């Protein structure tokens, strides 16, 4: 929604980085659905990506064993291709704030298990939402991000990737 990859691309270019983005997404799909599709493996293996952002189905945030398994599979493909996995930790529904801690823990575990970069959007979502209550982060469906929420998420994604780039160049 709201062209999240395009936002990240714009932010990268504004910071002086050449950036191209590709998105492979189907509404309602889990990562376990993606690994069954031949184009997913092909894109990961031959897309020449520096970073591959994985986002699990968030609403409901269930099928956790499948999430672990699918992320391992995609991470193995990415390792062979020389790409770095990024786990996009999303937010809970507007009416289900209490689920956020569980989502944060699972996303942290998945990132750790795969040696991936964690993008903790969900971990920051609610404090930002509380501090800036006049800015609506949710789309009217109470699950997806509004334009402002998308910009917030894109900034966290880009910052995590940029920090990794900076870390690699200072070694």
Local confidence pLDDT in tens for the 171 residues of the chain: 799 999 999 999 999 999 999 999 998 999 999 999 999 999 999 999 999 999 999 999 999 999 999 999 999 999 999 999 999 999 999 999 999 999 999 999 999 999 999 999 999 999 999 999 999 999 999 999 999 999 999 999 999 999 999 887 765
Report the C-alpha gap between 46 and 76 in whole angstroms: 13
**Helix, strand, or coil here: 88?**
strand
Reduce the secondary structure of 61-77 to three states and give it as a string. CCCHHHHHHHHHHHHHH
Instruction: Give me the sign of the Cα torsion angle 83, 25, 18, 162.
Output: negative
Q: How many CB atoms lie within 10 A of CB 56?
A: 25
> Residue 49: its pLDDT value, please?
96
Secondary structure class of 112 (helix, strand, coil): helix
Residue 170: the pLDDT is 67
| Predicted structure pTM score | 0.94
Instruction: State residue 146's pLDDT score.
Output: 97
Residue 155, CB-side half-sphere exposure with 13 Å CA sphere: 9
Residue 83 token pair: 């790409």
Closest CA to 75 of 54, 89, 92: 54
Count CA atoms within 13 Å of residue 87 on its CB side: 30
Selection from 171, 167, 159 nearest residue 124 by Cα: 159
The answer to whether the beta carbons of residues 20 and 170 sit under 8 Å apart is no
């Amino acid at each position: 929604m709201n062209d999240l990859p395009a936002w990240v691309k714009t932010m990268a270019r504004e910071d002086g980085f050449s950036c191209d983005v590709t998105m492979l997404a189907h509404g309602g799909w889990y990562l376990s659905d993606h690994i069954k599709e031949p184009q997913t493996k092909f894109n990961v293996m031959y897309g020449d990506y520096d970073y591959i952002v994985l986002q699990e189905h968030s609403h409901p945030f269930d099928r956790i064993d499948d999430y672990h398994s699918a992320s391992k599979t995609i991470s193995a493909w990415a390792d062979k291709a020389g790409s770095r996995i990024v786990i996009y930790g999303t937010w809970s529904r507007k009416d289900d704030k209490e689920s956020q801690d569980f989502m944060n823990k699972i996303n942290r575990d998945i990132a750790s298990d795969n040696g991936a970069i964690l993008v903790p959007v969900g971990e920051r979502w609610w404090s930002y939402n509380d501090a800036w209550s006049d800015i609506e982060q949710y789309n009217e469906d109470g699950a997806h991000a509004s334009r402002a929420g998308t910009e917030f998420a894109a900034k966290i994604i880009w910052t995590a990737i940029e920090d990794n780039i900076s870390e690699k160049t200072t070694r």
